[in-house]
Amino acid sequence: MTDDNVVPEGEQPDAAAPSPEVPEVDAAPEVEAVEETPEADELTVTKMALEERTLDLQRLQAEYLNYKRRVERDRELLRENATYSALTPIVEVLDNIDRAREHEPLEGGFKAVAEQLERTVAGLGLTKFGEVGDAFDPTVHEALSHIGTDPEVTVTTCKLVAKAGYKFGDRVVRAAQVLVVDPVE
């Protein structure tokens, strides 16, 4: 297939050959259109790339902030769990100190060590709860036994505390072990 209007390289076009129809265009606007279009396209492409990179950067920054928050939350949770695990066995030691106090007043070096241990665990956030007269709450009390009724109470009440309960923050390390009385019906 040959095109009669195509002139091979190095040859002059034949004046008699019909030329393809080309619309007449003013030379100056054509040059401006040719020069302006590539620059406008390049500017548009650059703006689009900038907008895409800005969105990528914003997404990356949001992901980083979420990661940072998650790591900090996890770090705090690990710290709480480690403290909780360390304090749990100490509760039994505190029970023994309470029993010793019930038997006779603490004296000398044992008294100093007991008080230091109690201050230390309190500083870490371990709090003691469970007093005679507290309303029974099954979320923080363990009823060992019902010991009857009492006309002086209006709700089920802790009448005797066998072992104090301990909390670490909002978490119950050990429920208070109590004997309860019910109100008279």
Tens-digit pLDDT profile for residues 1-22: 445 555 555 555 554 545 555 5
C-alpha to C-alpha distance for 118 and 122, rounded to whole angstroms: 6
120-161 pLDDT tens trace: 999 999 999 999 999 999 999 999 999 988 888 899 999 999
What domains are there in the chain, each with its CATH number?
A: 90-183 (2.30.22.10)
Phi, psi at 34, each rounded to 5°: -65, -45
* 108-123 vs 90-103: helix crossing angle, rounded to 10: 140
pLDDT confidence bin for 111, thresholds 50/70/90: very high
Average pLDDT across the chain, whole number: 84
pLDDT confidence bin for 28, thresholds 50/70/90: very low
Quote the percentage of the chain above a pLDDT of 90: 69
32-56 pLDDT tens trace: 444 457 787 888 999 999 999 999 9
182, amino acid identity: D
C-alpha to C-alpha distance for 72 and 150, rounded to whole angstroms: 50
**In the block, residue with structure tokens 């040859």:** 11
* Residue among 183, 113, 118 nearest 148 (CA): 183
Least confident window among 11-25, 49-63, 169-183: 11-25
C-alpha to C-alpha distance for 159 and 138, rounded to whole angstroms: 15
pLDDT of residue 27: 46
